[in-house]
């Protein structure tokens, strides 16, 4: 069958010559398991239902397409925030550029160091949530990441971690092809904020596994960099316990291809999971895909998915979002909204919202819209003297506001809003 052959060929071409990195016994086993999963599932092709709107070819091809390094003189994001900086250049940890990996109520280690140790808590998390998330939908690129990744960080929060941890991903080599894998373990009652900023590489595969124990809180704010030619496939896998909070927000600028998958499993009662994103894209080369899967497997869970995309000059946005409410997950409150602001007729937004519910006492809603700038509002602003470009920006930012409002920390949100304003004033 042609379909099977395409998949097999794609997979074999990618895996040919791949040598798994060495590590401690458990790490070697985890990588070998992951590789076996990749071989068994096969890498995605554009014929796969889950990749219907996004062609994965440039993500699976053996030789990564190059991406020019985008030089700009912007001050680093979150510069004024007191944070622990951890720098990666083209996916390699840069100790000199990084702060000490120490902080109160938190242990931070380089993934490579953790994977070299025979006994380490990371053993129970590395590839574990990824594996759990392979059903009901397969995510072979995440398994490939688990097999290949050598760098990243492992973070264990044991209490209230006051300073956010900022992973800064610099891109310096137009040929870089990178797999990063991060683990975050939030112990019972602990709280941590993770910031991720920057384009990371010409082609990035990134996996983040987050285990939030009862009463824990994980806050995540990410800004994917402005490099125009970069590609990225990222996965966030999270399992959250009773009374816990998980909040993730992603802002995406530019890039030719971004696929962000977020898979959240609510396993404890009274937990809250919010995942949100805003993206701005200009031009026919821009393709951005948010793929989200939230599973409710406990009582009284609340989940929100809020995704907003601003698309112009032929840009493409994709949203595939699912809420799965398992039998017994009563009193689930699930909400999902995906919206695009199309600034011209050439841009397109493809959305596939899904609800699958096996409990009878739940409140779930979803909606998806595509629209243009409201001409009446634009005229109203102009009639008050606001110049047309400024008026458009104001309306565009107001469109994105609902997503940005998902960021709990006002200062972080303000930083991102400023960057968005800058982007909008450059792209008119």
Partner 1 sequence: MMLEIKGLKVKLKEEDKQILKGVDLSIAPGTVHAIMGPNGSGKSTLSYVLSGKDGYEVTDGSAMLEGADLLDMDPEARAAAGLFLAFQYPVEIPGVGNMTFLRTAVNAQRKARGEAELSAGEFLKIVREKAKSLKIDADMLKRPVNVGFSGGEKKRNEILQMAMLEPKMCILDETDSGLDVDAMKLVAEGVNALRSKGRSFLVITHYQRLLDHIKPDVVHIMADGRIIKTGGPELALEVENNGYADILAEVA
Name the site residues for partner 1 (rule: CB under 8 A).
374-377, 379-388, 390-391, 394-395, 397-399, 401-402
Omega prior to 136 cis, within 30 of 0: yes
Beta carbon of residue 396, minimum distance to partner 1 (angstroms, whole number) = 10
Q: Tokens 């808590």 label which residue?
A: 121
User: Of 5 and 384, which CB lies nearer to partner 1 in the complex structure?
Assistant: 384
Task: Mention every residue, 6+ apart, whose C-beta is less than 8 A from residue 141.
Answer: 43, 44, 56, 59, 60, 205, 233, 235
User: Of 61 and 394, which CB lies nearer to partner 1 in the complex structure?
Assistant: 394
Beta carbon of residue 403, minimum distance to partner 1 (angstroms, whole number) = 11
Per-residue tokens: 282: 């200009």
Q: How far apart are CA 106 and CA 188, in angstroms?
A: 13
Beta carbon of residue 249, minimum distance to partner 1 (angstroms, whole number) = 17
Beta carbon of residue 104, minimum distance to partner 1 (angstroms, whole number) = 36
Per-residue tokens: 133: 């998330």
User: Of 359 and 395, which CB lies nearer to partner 1 in the complex structure?
Assistant: 395
User: Of 399 and 423, which CB lies nearer to partner 1 in the complex structure?
Assistant: 399
Beta carbon of residue 389, minimum distance to partner 1 (angstroms, whole number) = 10
Q: How far apart are CA 415 and CA 412, in angstroms?
A: 5
Measured distance between the N- and C-terminal CA atoms of the chain, rounded to whole angstroms:
48
Sheet holding 165-170, edge to edge: 92-93, 84-89, 165-170, 191-197, 217-224, 245-253, 272-282, 302-312, 333-342, 363-371
Beta carbon of residue 402, minimum distance to partner 1 (angstroms, whole number) = 7
357, β-bridge pairs = 325
How large is the greatest C-alpha to C-alpha distance in the chain, in angstroms? 69
User: Of 57 and 386, which CB lies nearer to partner 1 in the complex structure?
Assistant: 386
User: Of 136 and 371, which CB lies nearer to partner 1 in the complex structure?
Assistant: 371
């Amino acid at each position: 069958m042609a379909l099977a052959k395409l998949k097999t060929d794609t997979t074999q071409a990618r895996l040919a010559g791949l040598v798994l990195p060495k590590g401690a016994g458990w790490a070697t086993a985890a990588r070998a398991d992951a590789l076996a999963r990749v071989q068994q599932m096969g890498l995605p092709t554009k014929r796969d239902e889950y990749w219907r709107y996004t062609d994965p070819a440039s993500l699976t091809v053996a030789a990564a397409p190059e991406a020019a390094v985008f030089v700009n003189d912007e001050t680093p994001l979150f510069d004024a925030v007191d944070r622990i900086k951890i720098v990666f250049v083209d996916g390699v940890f840069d100790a000199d550029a990084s702060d000490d990996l120490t902080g109160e109520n938190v242990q931070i280690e380089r993934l490579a160091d953790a994977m070299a140790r025979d006994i380490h808590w990371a053993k129970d998390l590395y590839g574990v949530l990824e594996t759990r998330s392979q059903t009901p939908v397969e995510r072979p690129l995440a398994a490939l990441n688990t097999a290949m990744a050598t760098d990243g960080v492992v973070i264990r929060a044991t209490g209230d971690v006051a300073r956010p941890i900022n992973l800064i991903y610099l891109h310096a080599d137009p040929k870089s092809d990178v797999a990063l894998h991060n683990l975050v373990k939030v112990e019972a009652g602990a709280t941590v904020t993770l910031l991720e900023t920057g384009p990371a590489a010409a082609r990035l595969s990134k996996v983040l596994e987050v285990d939030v124990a009862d009463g824990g809180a994980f806050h995540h704010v990410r800004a994917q960099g402005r490099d125009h030619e970069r590609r990225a496939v990222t996965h966030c896998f999270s399992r959250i316990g009773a009374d816990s909070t998980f909040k993730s927000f992603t802002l995406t600028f530019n890039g030719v291809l971004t696929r962000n998958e977020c898979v959240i499993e609510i396993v404890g009662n009274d937990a809250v999971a919010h995942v949100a994103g805003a993206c701005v894209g200009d031009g026919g080369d821009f393709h951005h895909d948010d793929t989200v899967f939230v599973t409710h497997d406990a009582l009284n869970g609340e989940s929100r998915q809020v995704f907003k995309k601003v698309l112009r000059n032929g840009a493409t946005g994709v949203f595939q979002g699912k809420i799965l409410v398992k039998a017994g997950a009563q009193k689930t409150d699930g909400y999902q909204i995906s919206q695009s602001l199309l600034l011209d007729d050439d841009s397109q937004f493809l959305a596939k919202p899904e609800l699958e519910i096996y409990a009878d006492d739940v409140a779930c809603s979803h909606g998806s819209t595509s629209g243009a700038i409201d001409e009446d509002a634009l005229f109203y602003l102009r009639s008050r003297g606001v110049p047309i470009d400024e008026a458009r920006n104001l309306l565009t930012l107001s469109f994105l506001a609902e997503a940005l409002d998902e960021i709990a920390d006002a200062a972080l949100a303000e930083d991102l809003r400023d960057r968005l304003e800058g982007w909008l004033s450059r792209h008119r």
